[in-house]
Structure 1
Amino acid sequence: MNYLLLPDFFAMALLVCLLLFRGRRERDDMRLWIAGLLLILLECAARIVYSMPNGLVMHRASHVVALDAYLLAGVMFLLSASPGLRRMPRSTAFLCFNIGPNLALLTIYSLDSRVASLYAVLVGYGLVTGLASCALLRRRWTYYAAVAGIWVPLAICTGTLHYRMAAYLDLSFVYMMCAIAFGKTLQSRSRGKIAVVTGFVVWSLCFLAHPWVSEVYPQWADFLNELWNMQKFIITVGLLLVLLERQIISNQWLALHDELTSLPNRRLFDDRLEFALARAARERHRLAIFNLDLDGFKQINDTMGHDAGDVLLKAISRNLENATRRSDTLARLGGDEFSLIAVDIGDDPRGPVSHPIRLPQIERIFAAMLRAVELPVALGADYDNQVARVSASVGVAFYPEDGEDAVTLMRLADHRMFGQKSERARVRKTGGTTPLTLRKA
């Protein structure tokens, strides 16, 4: 056994265990990444027993495990970095057809087989299968180029009896594709991206240089091996940085948005309202604030549960977003309360020429919001396919007629909204219709 590799193995095992614990709550791409690191950990274990004396069978078996684990890990990394490849129709069949010949080539090399005809058959089968699968699935030209880029150089290497070069060139190409894929998909300003892409590029170059250094400069082989081993730690550190950066971005987003509906929350709404008021004052425009409260929402929560209420809130939020202008800001302030900042609804009356509020525009916004709220919402099979309908009470305040600061305008819009809600309640008590209906879909 190569006991010098044990510290690397335990350090890698610790990092992978930490990522496994963290990755249970992560997205699919991170789970694939962790699967790749587990395969690299398997390669570390195989290399520990690779140099056992008087054990040819163990030597060859560990060599097979090490190289095949490297290839499968590269495929996992490539999948994690390529959302398009994961979503591709029949992607599993495509990968199996294209990975099979590569695994077979690495396996027969690791078993010290040097039968030229066997390598020729595998290379030919791999090239034909790869091109045929691309044609059947109607892949872009880049897929054809990747298949040819792998198998044509391998055909040259095996044809000139350079079997070691063929095996490691195969791995080098896969890991270079990983570097390119992560370079395209990770965020451009990510520091973790630098570590990840650099790690894969150096790893690919180590695979490429390994046969040449082993034959021409064997005194540098140990240095190259250490450089080779270092990349798994660089890439793992890069993954940790990517996770940290994603968490920071997520926390920043959650600080300004409602988690249930993804709408701006009160903090972001207040910031945008101050900005909109400053812009309206500078450009002498009017704006309006709509405060909206759902009528009948509490009844759904009380009779069907908060989960049904969440389904309804998310649907109403989407409907309201679709009904509002891109220039306006819609926010969920809490519970079943929403607010809208409608900008550029008329010129400031204090200007040299006084213009009235554009009432048709205000009425269109008002009517669109009410229609969006009153659309029936299917609650799904979990709620016996019932459809919920609610209505809304809406209060409006205008800048600058009703006030020139956010606190005054919000207070007045709330007052008018609650006034409308009280009026609706009075109408219902005297025989009006209820704002809530439940029926079968």
Structure 2
Amino acid sequence: MNYAFLPDLLALTILIVILLLLRRDHAQRQTNLWLLGLFFTLIESSAHIFYGPNGPPGTTLHTIVIVCYLLAGLVFVWASGNYEITDRKSFLFLLINSVPLLALCATYGLHLFSKTAFLPWIALGLILGVATSLYLRRSLITALVLAIGWLGMGLLASDGRYRQVVYWCLGVVYAVATVNFYRKLPRNSTGRLAIITGFSIWAFFFFLHPFIVTYRTYADIASHIWNMQKSLISIGMILVMLEEQVSNNRWLALHDELTGLANRRSFEDRLSIALDRCRRARSTLALFMLDLDGFKQINDTHGHHAGDQLLRHVAGNLREHVGHIDSIARVGGDEFTLLACDPSLVRSVEQLRDAIREATELPFFFDGHKLSVTASIGIALYPDDADDATRLLRIADLRMYSLKQERTPLRHIRLDSVPSLTASGRFRSRTASGRF
């Protein structure tokens, strides 16, 4: 047994356990694939502890090591890929082309060093690579690249350089994973740097292995670097997951999770910024406050799931059908707010109001039922009605409430001149709770 590998194996095991714990709050396809790739790496590291150079046990363990290297690399290629074709075709492309690679790795691991053992698999790889590139990927360039690669391996095998055939294949697989991760992961991510560095080292040492293996001193140093990058990649994956969680938390702090629109906090910030911009430009700002009439009835009759679907439906329609709007937010259960800066330049306030109403009242189907709501829309203008965010929100709210109660709409409101309205129970409850 080679106990020198135990510390690296223990470190890798701990990092995989940490990834498993993080997966509970971060369940997704990418994380599962990362764990699968690291699982094959763990098997490879475990086999190294019992590895011996001679005899059937050594041959078997050598095969396990080489095959696990390839399986881990293929999983990482799939996890890092960003394909334009459908997932099913991408998976078939990778699966079919992995068959001759697996056969070559197993052949080398079993020490079957002969042209008759290697060349048939290389020929199969050439045929499958070209065929799948043309049929599944519809790419002549991919077919040419794979053809050149397999022909190159055929030349190496014909010259008896079987180690180069296998290890350079592994180097190419890990180089592809490196490039894919470079393209896929966020550019400002620390985890991305660790992952790319780790996979670059991995690919480099696969290419270097046939030359350095004959120099014992350098081979030992390379072995330590080889094991170091496995932990580096694991740490990088943990960092990426943590960074994504932080980014997701930041997004949730400023957005409504159900609809994806801005939430109240974000809208208030945007309103303040828009007012400052309008003051400097001496332009007009229109604030629309929208309440859904009939939402409660749908929610009570068809359930909360129908209500959630309705809110998503309305949010999507507002985004898609209402143009020249600077910001849309969901600020309450069935309340939305919209901002339009200098609306007179493109569409009148009345036209925007009508567009908002039409988008809101578009019907949708739920469980075989055609459902729809109507809209009560309160409007407040800067600088005509008020010159600060708090007063604009209150005026728009009061006008919306007036429409909802089927009273005469209040077109011009000064808060200090309508004490009866500002004393209404609904308004008091909002101001007391700090909603505006």
When normalised by structure 2's length, the TM-score is: 0.89
Deviations 1:298-339 (A, max 9, x none): 112222222221111111100111122255211000210000
Count of residues in Structure 1 that have an aligned counterpart in Structure 2: 408
**Cα deviation, residue 276, structure 1:** 1.0
- Contact 1:126/1:151, CA 8 A, preserved across alignment: yes
Partner of 1:311: 309
Residue 228 (structure 1) aligned with residue 221 (structure 2): no
The code of the aligned residue for 1:50 comes to Y
Residue 72 (structure 1) aligned with residue 71 (structure 2): yes
- SS of the residue corresponding to residue 423 of structure 1 reads coil
Percent of aligned positions with the same letter in both sequences? 40
**Cα deviation, residue 295, structure 1:** 0.7
The code of the aligned residue for 2:229 comes to Q
The code of the aligned residue for 2:349 comes to I
Residue 267 (structure 1) aligned with residue 250 (structure 2): no
Partner of 1:292: 290
Superposition pairs of residues 100-111 of structure 1, within 5 angstroms: 100-111=99-110
Tell me which moved more, 392-401 or 13-22: 13-22
Residue 408 (structure 1) aligned with residue 391 (structure 2): yes
Superposition pairs of residues 322-401 of structure 1, within 5 angstroms: 322-346=320-344, 361-379=348-366, 384-401=367-384
- Contact 1:23/1:34, CA 8 A, preserved across alignment: no
Partner of 1:26: 27
Partner of 2:419: none
Q: Distance in 1 between matches of 2:84 and 2:322?
A: 36
- SS of the residue corresponding to residue 339 of structure 1 reads strand
Partner of 1:189: 188
- SS of the residue corresponding to residue 188 of structure 2 reads coil
Q: Distance in 2 between matches of 1:258 and 1:67?
A: 49
The code of the aligned residue for 1:170 comes to C
- Contact 1:79/1:85, CA 8 A, preserved across alignment: no
Deviations 1:120-153 (A, max 9, x none): 1111111121011111124334523542353233
Q: Distance in 1 between matches of 2:9 and 2:216?
A: 25
Provide closer, same or farther for how the CA distance between residues 291 and 236 of structure 1 changes in structure 2, counting only shifts above 3 A: same
Deviations 1:150-180 (A, max 9, x none): 3233222211101111111110110011111
Superposition pairs of residues 139-158 of structure 1, within 5 angstroms: 139-148=138-147, 150-158=149-157
Q: Distance in 1 between matches of 2:276 and 2:241?
A: 38
- SS of the residue corresponding to residue 294 of structure 1 reads strand
The code of the aligned residue for 1:74 comes to G
- SS of the residue corresponding to residue 90 of structure 1 reads helix
When normalised by structure 1's length, the TM-score is: 0.88
Provide closer, same or farther for how the CA distance between residues 46 and 149 of structure 1 changes in structure 2, counting only shifts above 3 A: farther
- SS of the residue corresponding to residue 340 of structure 1 reads strand
- SS of the residue corresponding to residue 392 of structure 1 reads strand
The code of the aligned residue for 1:27 comes to Q
Residue 8 (structure 1) aligned with residue 8 (structure 2): yes
- SS of the residue corresponding to residue 107 of structure 1 reads helix
- SS of the residue corresponding to residue 84 of structure 1 reads coil
Over 4 Å off, 4+ runs: none
Provide structure 2 residue ranges, at least 5 long, that are not aligned to the other structure: 409-436
CA RMSD of aligned residues (A): 2.0
**Cα deviation, residue 270, structure 1:** 0.8
